[in-house]
Amino acid sequence: MRARLALLAAAVSVLTLVAFLVPLALLVRAVAADRATVRATADAQSLVPVVGTADPATIRLTVEQLAVDSGRPVSVFLPDGTVLGTLAPRTPAVALAARGQSLTAESAEGREVVIAVQGRADGTGVIRTVVPRAELSAGVGRAWLVLALLGVVLVVIGLAVADRLARTLVRPISELSVVSHRLANAELDARVTPAGPTELREVAGALNHLAGRIQVLLAQEREQVADLSHRLRTPLTALRLEAESLRDPQDAARIAAAVDGLERVVTGLIRQARRDRTAAVGPVGCDAAAVLADRVAFWSVLAEDTGRAVRCDLAAGPLPVGVPADDLAAAVDALLGNVFAHTPDGTPFTVRLTRDGEQAVLAVTDQGPGMPAVTTPAGTVRRGASGAGSTGLGLDIARRVAEAGGGRLDLRAGPGGGAEVLLRLRSPS
């Protein structure tokens, strides 16, 4: 933008200078030629009294002296055809002046000035002098050079002023861009110092107001999530008390373990909701093999109760990925929970974790009825979309975890029917 403004200023300056300097240069040339013509005419007119009254010898001496003083050729044509002074042919202008008409004409030598002298007894005499082209344009080149230098100086000054004005515009715009990118990177404390024209100051104020509103709304959202998660502690406590009152120790231990897992999830939600997202966070990651083994062991108990065969094929760990352990566990729980929620009891499923270059690939495959239409035309998961009456948030949770870890979530039909979900995660850098 700064370069374009400077180019625009240069173009306007050049056009303005051309509009003024070209006519001025032509005027300088015309004035120089007219000045030389006036001097030559005055010199020639000084001979009129002599040519009109003196004898040829006197006229010759006077003409020769004037030619020497002026540096121009001066000739006098007498009525009898005698040429005094500088020898010159009888040009059409001289012939016209012999009839009593003084005039100025252009010739190959320069500008020809002829003056008719009447009053002689033998007829009309003619005084002729020629202004050379060098004299007609004397000083014009220097004047044009001065005008050209003046034009260049004015253009340079115009560019300097335009560049300074452009900086007053570009600098606030650049600051707006920088702050916008910082806000996009969750640096919600970033603010713009209003500067520049009134319009840019208004935009800066609006951006600062928007950043403040985002902070307020995020704080409210975090508090609401934290409050909602905190409210779940009461029914969890009731469940724990019910589990402890069971007579069968195995059932009590199993339900207590489930309550403990649910409580960990709730605690994680509260901690995540209250986390300061504007603070600098270092690189995070976990061992995908360890997390997956733990969650498969948890779900295997429910799989056994519902008659599901579980096949677990995990790559040898450690297999680091760039997402926190809690987030990966939430994604795995969402995928395995979908298997239990959307397939009949007794449907087998497979959990496989492999290494693919710099990625860890988690595949959950079942032999159920297949995946409902929960994707957009672009192939991404539609948040809140479900073909089985659920909330439709499970796949979206897994997708967001995958994208946070530099990977993606793929949905496709399983090899033997049913559905297969692939969760691709990159290793932490």
Instruction: Calculate mean pLDDT across residues 317-324.
Output: 85
Q: Once rounded to an integer, what is the mean pLDDT over residues 58-64?
A: 91
CATH number for the domain spanning 28: value is 3.30.450.20
pLDDT at 197 (0 to 100) = 83
Q: How far apart are CA 207 and CA 243, in angstroms?
A: 53
* pLDDT reported for residue 38: 94
**Model confidence over 360-375: pLDDT tens digits?**
899 999 888 776 554 4
Q: What is the pLDDT of residue 276?
A: 53
Instruction: Put the strands of the sheet holding 419-426 in their side by side order.
Output: 310-314, 349-356, 359-366, 419-426, 408-413
74 strand-pairing partners: 129
CB-count exposure of residue 335 (10 Å: 0-12, 13-18, 19+): buried
Maximum average pLDDT range among 206-215, 293-302, 405-414: 206-215
Query: How large is the C-alpha radius of gyration of the chain?
Result: 51
Q: CA–CA separation, 384 vs 390, rounded Å?
A: 9
Least Cα distance to 320 among 294, 287, 292, 360 occurs for 287
Longest dimension (CA), the chain: 161
Give the containing element (helix H, strand E) for 198. Answer: helix 198-231
In sequence order, the β-bridge partners of residue 204 are: none
Residue 383: predicted pLDDT: 43
Question: What pLDDT is attached to residue 164?
Answer: 83
Is 148 domain-assigned?
no
- Looking at residue 227, what is its pLDDT? 67
Of the residues 141, 160, 176, the one at which a domain ends: 141
Q: Is the pLDDT of residue 377 over 80?
A: no
Percentage above 70 pLDDT, the chain: 87
Tell whether 319 and 421 lie within a shared domain: yes
Looking at 141, 175, 197, the residue that finishes a domain is: 141
Query: Helix 249-273 vs helix 198-231: angle between axes, to the nearest 10 degrees?
Result: 160
Statement: residue 262 has pLDDT above 90: no
Give the span between the Cα atoms of 395 and 377, in whole angstroms: 16
Q: How far apart are the C-alpha atoms of 251 and 265, rounded to whole Å? A: 21
Hey, what are 408's tokens?
């993606």
Count of domains observed in the chain: 3
248 and 329 in a single domain? The answer is no
Q: What is the DSSP letter of 427?
A: P
Same-domain status, 305 and 381: yes
Q: Which pLDDT value is given to residue 242?
A: 74
Residue 398 in this model has a pLDDT that exceeds 80: yes
19 and 111 fall within a common domain: yes
Predicted local confidence at residue 429, as pLDDT:
64
Domain membership flag for residue 121 = yes
| Residues 288, 420 share a domain | yes
ω before 73 within 30° of 0 (cis)? no
SS3 81: coil
pTM (two decimals): 0.47
Range of the domain at 107: 2-141
| pLDDT tens per residue across span 328-346 | 888 888 888 888 888 888 8
CATH of the domain at 305: 3.30.565.10
Residue 407 counted as domain residue: yes
160 within domain boundaries: no
pLDDT at position 395 over 50: yes
- Please determine, for residue 397, whether its predicted confidence score (pLDDT) is greater than 50: yes
Residue 94 to residue 87: CA distance in whole angstroms: 13
pLDDT tens-digit readout, 63-92: 999 999 988 999 999 988 889 998 888 999
310-313-318 Cα angle (round to 5): 130
Please enumerate in sequence order all residues whose Cβ is within 8 A of that of 29, keeping only pairs 6 or more positions apart, or say none. Answer: 137, 140
Q: Identify whether 169 is part of a domain.
A: no
Do 277 and 315 lie in a common domain?
A: no
Q: Which residue has the higher pLDDT, 220 or 370?
A: 220
Do residues 10 and 66 share a domain?
yes
Decide if 249 is inside a domain: yes
Say what the pLDDT of residue 281 is: 45
* Claim to verify: residue 215 and residue 309 sit in the same structural domain: no
Residue 147 lies in a domain: no
Residue 367: count of CB within 10 angstroms of its CB: 21
Alpha-carbon distance of 35 to 38, in angstroms, equals 5
Average pLDDT over residues 119-125: 86
By three-state DSSP, how is residue 182 classified?
Answer: helix
Which CATH number does the domain housing residue 254 bear? Answer: 1.10.287
276 Rama sector, left if φ>0, alpha if ψ -120 to 50, beta otherwise: beta
Structure tokens at 59: 């006229």
Q: Do 288 and 422 have their domain in common? A: yes
Task: Identify the domain boundary among 261, 281, 301.
Answer: 281
307: its two tokens:
């008659």
Task: Check residue 17 and give its pLDDT.
Answer: 86
Q: Are 21 and 149 in contact (CB under 8 A)?
A: no
Average pLDDT over residues 185-199: 86
For the stretch 151-177, pLDDT in tens is 899 888 888 888 888 888 888 888 888
Output the average pLDDT for the chain: 83
* One domain, residues 117 and 48: yes
Q: Is residue 69 part of a domain?
A: yes
- What lies within 8 Å, CB to CB, of 213 at 6+ separation is none
> Do 253 and 319 belong together in one domain?
no
Residues 289 and 414 in one domain: yes
Q: At residue 300, does pLDDT exceed 80?
A: yes
Q: What is the DSSP string of 256-286?
A: HHHHHHHHHHHHHHHHHHTS-TTS------E
Query: For residue 226, what pLDDT band results from cuts at 50, 70 and 90?
Result: low
- The amino acid sitting at 76 is V
For residues 372, 378, 384, 387, the Cα torsion angle rounded to the nearest 10 degrees is: -10
